[in-house]
Structure 1
Amino acid sequence: MKNAIFQSLSMILLVILVGCGEESRTIFTENDISIVPKPLEMKFNQGAFRFNEDTKLVAPKDQGEVLDVLKDKFTAAAGWTLEVLDTAPRSNFVLLSTDSSMAEEGYDLKVMDNQIIIKANGLNGFLYGLETIRQLLPVAIESKSLVNNINWDIPKVEIKDSPRFKWRGFMLDVSRHFFDKDYVLATIDQLALLKMNTLHLHLVDDQGWRIEIKKYPKLTEVGGFRVDQEDKPWNARPTPDLGTETTYGGFYTQEDIKEIVAYASSRGVTVVPEIEMPAHVMSAIAAYPELSCFQKPIMVPSGGVWPITEIYCAGKDSTFEFLENVLLEVMELFPSQYIHVGGDEATKTNWEICPDCKKRVANEGLANVEELQSYFIQRMERFLSSKGRILLGWDEILEGGLAPGATVMSWRGVKGGLEASEAGHDVVMTPNSHCYFDYYQGDQDAEPLAWGGNLPLSKVYQFDPVVDEMTAEQAKHVLGGQANLWTEYVPTYDQAEYMTYPRLAALAEAVWSSKANRNWDDFSNRVESLFERYGKMGINYAKSAYQVTTETSVDPESAAISIALKSEFTGSDIRYTLDGSDITVASEKYTTPIDIKKTTTIKAQVFKEEKPVGALFKKTITYNKAVGKPVTYLKKYHDSYQGAKELGMVNVVRGSKNFHDGQWQGWLGGDMELLIDMESPTELEKITVGALENQGSGIYFPVQVEVLLSADGKTFKSAGIVKREYSANNGSELKNYVVGIKEQTTRYIKVIATNLGTPPTGGGSWMFIDEVVVE
């Protein structure tokens, strides 16, 4: 009996001990690891480390603050205040271990059953190791409120990681629209998460001066505010009358700047200020008109300005005295080695007639005003160099000769970077083709208003700061790359987030990870985990990569149209309908291209875990009598915009507001003239010609479309003309030119679209045409 009682007590005690013991840890697979940017090397081991309220954080005394990155997350999500020590206990700790032999910004991370060790040679390496741990933790670690019933486990891994480039940047334009200090601090947090180390603040532009300069208080008192015309399109805001009340704007006090810089430093981020010169400075001239050539009083513009003629006078020494005084205060606030001076888009018409500028050109033996700009930049470069700083500017600073110690930021493609690196100058690559986040990232009809262009997530991911044309020596001068968010069309914090994320993640991997480690499909899987984190953090990230797009082909013999559906993410689950009905989880799954031979409305949407994600795709394919018919171009399209070439006008797929979508055919300055052979006499009622206008990109509607008909292909008779006079248009617009025809039979159709020729801004106008619909 005693033995039986003892055995029973033993079993109860065992159950109690097991019940009180730690639960089994999460079983991970390598596919559970979704780190962005992808580490240089990673070894996956079986097992896990579990964080609990007794886990200790261990760091040298001078590095303790870096642990706040992880400590603060657990305080919010788990309710723990993890203790920070300077000596490691026996187990259950995260240790920062200094190793001065390691590469700058590199780190080694080893996760074991009962301890985690991060080795690095300084702050940034430790930060990046901790940010990697953060991405290994459940996404609930991003919660701002307490999370219950969760195991804070991470997989056992060994990671050796370091960046490919030392400049991994993001530019935020706070001039066109002002973003307060808290938004800037939140942006710094996101840069740190993605191991980005540079925040470039565009503090000065025509529409606003955003930094307090104590010697010149009117820069912010006057230059920091403009007339509120936020209800009008950016490029349609009239010039306000002198004295009109200015209520839109804001600026950072010097105390704000100090806080931003200090916070950024604690997150491994250097803040690079941009103080524009000699152009993009109407906000400064509004405050101090004597800085311009003719001292004409002006208002801070409320919207777009082009050309930019009100610029600093390069002939007055007082201009340079002003700028040096401004930069002295700026350098006191920003420890950054680089000071960005802009240098772009200066229209020099005032310099050409200004007596002071003409005198400067003569006295300095300059050939022209281009060399005067070079003189201007070189003079500022000598001043910055004397203070131990490096002048950084947009690639226009190459014009007229580059200052000896300057670094170039190449934005107009890669040409500036090639030229500067060939001359032995350092460069930061930020071509608008891959790095301008004010461009659309999806179907323009489903996206908020943007500047133009097309920069989807997958194209950002293709970015490489080192271009094929560079020699090995030139490549050594490439500091790295940077994304830019210009904010003419970005008035709110929500929209700024939408334009920035997740494209910043793609850019981060492009400038951190080795080329061998980069793979779009692999990134696609990992970035979706980042989407969950963004959701937990309350970030308004774009889901544009889930949008459905089409690829269309036409069989010339059968005139059958084949339509392929896809999204940026390979292998997406796409559901569709062809009868106009709504998309549901029960809708047809897309597997192979869809053939149609009649007018059809396609609806399609990507599904994730049986739920729709991204915007609904809806398009009507107007099947018409000209589909697949032979087309002869009597006045051919430009080589840069060939659309679908010979079938482009008769493949039934209409071009979108994105003129880079591969459907549009373009004519620069000249007219379009084409001939469609219907191959046999065909009854006609009307002919529709599609066109696009985007004046901001130099694209204008034709001023006339004429249709002519012929039975023999030799003698043509006009069947109708549609005219449209030029008018200013600040948006992007599609238009149908419909030529009604009295019912008749014909074989040959000639279509002539007349180009505007020369727009009000000068130069040649683009005319974009897509699809001739014959009904």
Structure 2
Amino acid sequence: MMSSRIVQFSWLFFLLILVGCGEESKTTFSETDVKIIPRPSEIQFKEGAFRFTKDTKIVVANDQTDVTSVLLDKFSKAAAWDLEVVDTAPKNNFVQLSLDAAMEDEAYTLKVSEDKVVITAKGKVGFLYGLESVRQLLPVSIESNELVANVNWDIPTVEITDSPRFKWRGFMMDVSRHFFDKEYILATIDQLAFLKMNTLHLHLVDDQGWRIEIKKYPKLTEVGAFRVDQEDKHWDARFTPELGEKATYGGFYTQEDIKEIVAYATSKGINVVPEIELPAHVMSAIASYPELSCFQKPIMVPSGGVWPITEIYCPGKETTFEFLENVLTEVMELFPSQYIHVGGDEATKTNWKVCPDCKRRVKEEDLANVEELQSYFIRRMERFISSNGRTLIGWDEILEGGLAPGAAVMSWRGFKGGIEASEAGHDVVMTPTSHSYFDYYQGSREAEPMAWGGYLPLSKVYEFDPVVEGMTPEQAKHVLGGQANMWTEFMPDNAQAQYMTYPRLAAMAEAVWSTKANKDWVDFSQRVVSLFDRYDIMGINYAKSAYQVTTEVNVDEENGALSIALKNEFPEADIRYSLDGSDITVASKKYAKPFVVNKTTEIKAQVFKDGTPVGVLFEKTINYHKAVGKPVTYLNKYHDSYQGGKEIGMVNVVRGSMNFHDGQWQGWLGDHMALVIDMEAPTAIEKITVGTLENQGSGIYFPIQVEVMLSSDGKTFKNAGIVKRGFAANINSELKDFVVDLEKQSARYIKVIATNLSTPPTGGKAWMFIDEVIVE
């Protein structure tokens, strides 16, 4: 009897185990677990979860089977499942693609319940976007290319209604300055689709390389695709190659490569827009066929920066237009894009002014000047492109001299060109340098790899809105959308290109997809951290610049004490710091509020995530010198555009960075700096330091002399020391302290004069930037 009960109990226990295994509880989610980028238009969160298993079916009707690879490939690698695609839905445990012809082209709805997932869309693109959202709801380990153990592939039960705000959501890749192989382009297409971007703009032609095979003109790639290898030198310090010098650096896409890229992009819902530059940025073409220029002078493909760009196409010769029409005919056969980009920017028309053929063209066409000759050039190309059923688009310089009737404008020099074009009834893509140029620094220059210049952090990209305040509703209708541009002068390889692209591309994606009401930086900053985890698994070399600690300093004018706030781009970040130079660990003091500094202090700070340091270590020494907070009289005041800390800017201890837009620099344009510091009492002085910046590419030059004079009464000054430095060419951005050592003496008043270069070798007026006068 006892043994029978034991047997019954054993079977009961075994059955309970089986039942328990079959009814394993699903993951419990909260609303914060929905981390989709770009943020959907509407999200309704519900309790519960749907679990993918090896038996989950993908239900597809009609010809939509190819879009399912978004999920099938991921589960194949991360879970070793070959999910079955069927045309009839089972009772449960399935993902269904449901057609609705009444929906907009890129819209989708996603309804997740505990037994099924239903994506409804008009067609392939909507289904792709719905599936990408499902992918982002899954655990981040779905991105693994290797089998992942012990993961429940659960997603929260949500209902999403989603569609984009703008129809042009673009990313421009400059493959001319540095060539990126086909595989990298395909990988970039994957990332664009992941973020629901729909336009890849390929900058295929520039001075430094012609990247597309043209059958009719083989020299364009035989000659124009390669340059003399000077990759060991700064972009703007590369010498002009000698004729006949061996050119080995470069590459190009065959027409078969282009077909593959376009086909793959199309399968991912992405339109590829080709850019064939004209009339300037074409030295690679002229090196191949010198007869395309005004004076047919043989040249080499330049290895680096060229300015001004004078070797450009000659619009006086009919053969130039014959060449371009033949090239564009082959291009349009390869690219189905409605838009064909022709550049049109930065043409220096020096040669046009003296070229007999150009002068004859100006006269025959009754043009007023060479600006109208450029307009003639663009209008003529626009007629050819439109006669082939396509639309010409170009940089905003194509507005100069009058815009061709059917052309669209890509506004890069701010929003102004886009505003003007939309007023005239032309379509516009906004891509201003202020928000869209990914060749700009995204963090402190001291902590970042070399970039072109400017400052565009993640949060600034997120602020981008292609529709400018003050536009009329009619103008707003002409704004097709926005685009990020990745110019690659300083991006020689895939890793560097990724670093400059991600995660800023995610911020751009949300800026051009989500409605204004749905955009919130605090919310995005929480979701993008999850994206970082995905990038880690994907092996993407993304920038962690947004974690960099920065300071905000306020000076108490009465006592000279400094109030210092620590911050970074992420709200409520875990910042640990020290004020004695000690190393930072997770046990260091957590930053909570601004602290006061009234002596020389070595600050270190670091952001931590889950107890681990992220981003670069912040280190800064506050040199609390004798003149901090003392009255300053400007004998020659700073420029209104660069006022630094204004009246106390020279004695507020806050030093400027290599980003001259950081608000700490005072600038003088063509003028000298002259000021007097009142120490308020006789003070022992033995050294004066003047902090300066040079960035010759931006017109900023070191002073050529710093002079110090001392006085006891503020009226009679005597020379105390002088430091001179002659002009020297400098391709880098550089900080320099001019130190004037004095014999130790006492004075109340200190006059400091910094002499501006005034007129640089390039002409015009020189900027001189100064951030602090340090008295020791």
- TM-score bin, normalised by smaller chain: over 0.9
The whole-number CA distance in structure 1 between the counterparts of 2:470 and 2:290 is 45
The whole-number CA distance in structure 2 between the counterparts of 1:730 and 1:544 is 24
Alignment of 1:134-149 (within 5 A): 134-149=135-150
Who is 1:612 aligned against? 613
Deviation at 1:4, TM superposition (A): 4.0
One-letter code of the match for 2:707?
Answer: E
Who is 1:433 aligned against? 434
Deviation by residue 1:462-507 (Cα, 9 ceiling, x = unmatched): 1110111312211111000000010001111001000000001011
Alignment of 1:282-431 (within 5 A): 282-431=283-432
Q: Secondary structure at the match of 2:604?
A: strand
Alignment of 1:591-670 (within 5 A): 591-670=592-671
The whole-number CA distance in structure 2 between the counterparts of 1:245 and 1:178 is 18
Are 1:182 and 2:183 matched, yes or no?
Answer: yes
Alignment of 1:475-554 (within 5 A): 475-554=476-555
The whole-number CA distance in structure 2 between the counterparts of 1:404 and 1:672 is 51
Deviation by residue 1:182-240 (Cα, 9 ceiling, x = unmatched): 00000000000110000000000000000000100000110000000000000000001
Who is 1:210 aligned against? 211
One-letter code of the match for 2:126?
Answer: G
Deviation at 1:20, TM superposition (A): 4.4
The whole-number CA distance in structure 1 between the counterparts of 2:554 and 2:116 is 58
Who is 1:107 aligned against? 108
Alignment of 1:210-289 (within 5 A): 210-289=211-290
The whole-number CA distance in structure 2 between the counterparts of 1:599 and 1:100 is 69
Deviation at 1:647, TM superposition (A): 1.4
The whole-number CA distance in structure 1 between the counterparts of 2:522 and 2:212 is 43
Who is 1:684 aligned against? 685
The whole-number CA distance in structure 1 between the counterparts of 2:235 and 2:429 is 29
Q: Secondary structure at the match of 1:89?
A: coil
Who is 2:737 aligned against? 736
Deviation at 1:758, TM superposition (A): 2.1
The whole-number CA distance in structure 1 between the counterparts of 2:477 and 2:639 is 37
One-letter code of the match for 1:445?
Answer: E
The whole-number CA distance in structure 2 between the counterparts of 1:421 and 1:752 is 49
Deviation at 1:744, TM superposition (A): 1.6
Aligned-pair identity (%): 75
Deviation at 1:22, TM superposition (A): 4.1
Q: Secondary structure at the match of 2:454?
A: strand
Deviation at 1:19, TM superposition (A): 4.5
One-letter code of the match for 2:434?
Answer: S
Are 1:29 and 2:54 matched, yes or no?
Answer: no
One-letter code of the match for 1:453?
Answer: G
The whole-number CA distance in structure 1 between the counterparts of 2:278 and 2:67 is 37
The whole-number CA distance in structure 1 between the counterparts of 2:14 and 2:735 is 78
Q: Secondary structure at the match of 1:178?
A: coil
Who is 1:452 aligned against? 453
Who is 1:155 aligned against? 156
One-letter code of the match for 2:549?
Answer: V
Q: TM-score, normalised by structure 2?
A: 0.99
Deviation by residue 1:229-274 (Cα, 9 ceiling, x = unmatched): 0000000000011111111000000000000000000111100000
Which stretch shifts more, 758-767 or 399-408? 758-767
The whole-number CA distance in structure 2 between the counterparts of 1:340 and 1:757 is 40
Q: Secondary structure at the match of 1:240?
A: coil
Who is 2:474 aligned against? 473
The whole-number CA distance in structure 1 between the counterparts of 2:119 and 2:649 is 57
Q: Secondary structure at the match of 1:452?
A: coil
Deviation by residue 1:343-384 (Cα, 9 ceiling, x = unmatched): 000000000010000111111111110110010001000000
The whole-number CA distance in structure 2 between the counterparts of 1:447 and 1:622 is 24
Who is 2:53 aligned against? 52
The whole-number CA distance in structure 2 between the counterparts of 1:6 and 1:648 is 88
Deviation by residue 1:363-418 (Cα, 9 ceiling, x = unmatched): 11111101100100010000000001110100111111111111100001111111
Who is 2:131 aligned against? 130
The whole-number CA distance in structure 2 between the counterparts of 1:233 and 1:352 is 32
One-letter code of the match for 1:381?
Answer: E
One-letter code of the match for 2:34?
Answer: I
Who is 2:676 aligned against? 675
What's the Cα RMSD here?
A: 1.2
The whole-number CA distance in structure 2 between the counterparts of 1:647 and 1:513 is 43
Deviation at 1:106, TM superposition (A): 0.7
Deviation at 1:10, TM superposition (A): 5.3
The whole-number CA distance in structure 2 between the counterparts of 1:365 and 1:560 is 68
Deviation by residue 1:115-152 (Cα, 9 ceiling, x = unmatched): 11001112111110000000000000000100111110
Deviation at 1:715, TM superposition (A): 2.3
Deviation at 1:601, TM superposition (A): 1.1
Deviation by residue 1:674-730 (Cα, 9 ceiling, x = unmatched): 221111221110110011011112211112222222222222222222221111111
The whole-number CA distance in structure 1 between the counterparts of 2:704 and 2:370 is 37
The whole-number CA distance in structure 1 between the counterparts of 2:589 and 2:540 is 32
One-letter code of the match for 1:247?
Answer: T
Deviation by residue 1:18-38 (Cα, 9 ceiling, x = unmatched): 144142111111111111110
Who is 1:714 aligned against? 715
The whole-number CA distance in structure 2 between the counterparts of 1:486 and 1:217 is 26
Q: Secondary structure at the match of 2:736?
A: strand
Which stretch shifts more, 55-64 or 149-158? 55-64
One-letter code of the match for 2:761?
Answer: P
The whole-number CA distance in structure 2 between the counterparts of 1:748 and 1:387 is 75
The whole-number CA distance in structure 2 between the counterparts of 1:754 and 1:63 is 70
The whole-number CA distance in structure 1 between the counterparts of 2:435 and 2:424 is 24
Q: Secondary structure at the match of 1:103?
A: coil
Which stretch shifts more, 373-382 or 589-598? 589-598
The whole-number CA distance in structure 2 between the counterparts of 1:479 and 1:205 is 25
Are 1:173 and 2:161 matched, yes or no?
Answer: no
Which stretch shifts more, 634-643 or 461-470? 634-643
The whole-number CA distance in structure 2 between the counterparts of 1:662 and 1:441 is 16
Q: Secondary structure at the match of 2:45?
A: strand
Who is 2:751 aligned against? 750
The whole-number CA distance in structure 2 between the counterparts of 1:313 and 1:413 is 29
Deviation at 1:460, TM superposition (A): 0.6
The whole-number CA distance in structure 2 between the counterparts of 1:389 and 1:533 is 39
The whole-number CA distance in structure 2 between the counterparts of 1:722 and 1:407 is 54
One-letter code of the match for 1:348?
Answer: K
Deviation at 1:9, TM superposition (A): 5.9
The whole-number CA distance in structure 2 between the counterparts of 1:26 and 1:20 is 15
Q: Secondary structure at the match of 1:326?
A: helix
Alignment length, in residue pairs? 775
Which stretch shifts more, 300-309 or 570-579? 570-579
Deviation by residue 1:491-543 (Cα, 9 ceiling, x = unmatched): 11001000000001011100000100111111010000000000000000000
Alignment gaps of 5+ in structure 2: none
The whole-number CA distance in structure 2 between the counterparts of 1:65 and 1:80 is 18
Deviation by residue 1:58-108 (Cα, 9 ceiling, x = unmatched): 112311100111110101100011111122222111111111111220100
The whole-number CA distance in structure 1 between the counterparts of 2:11 and 2:757 is 95
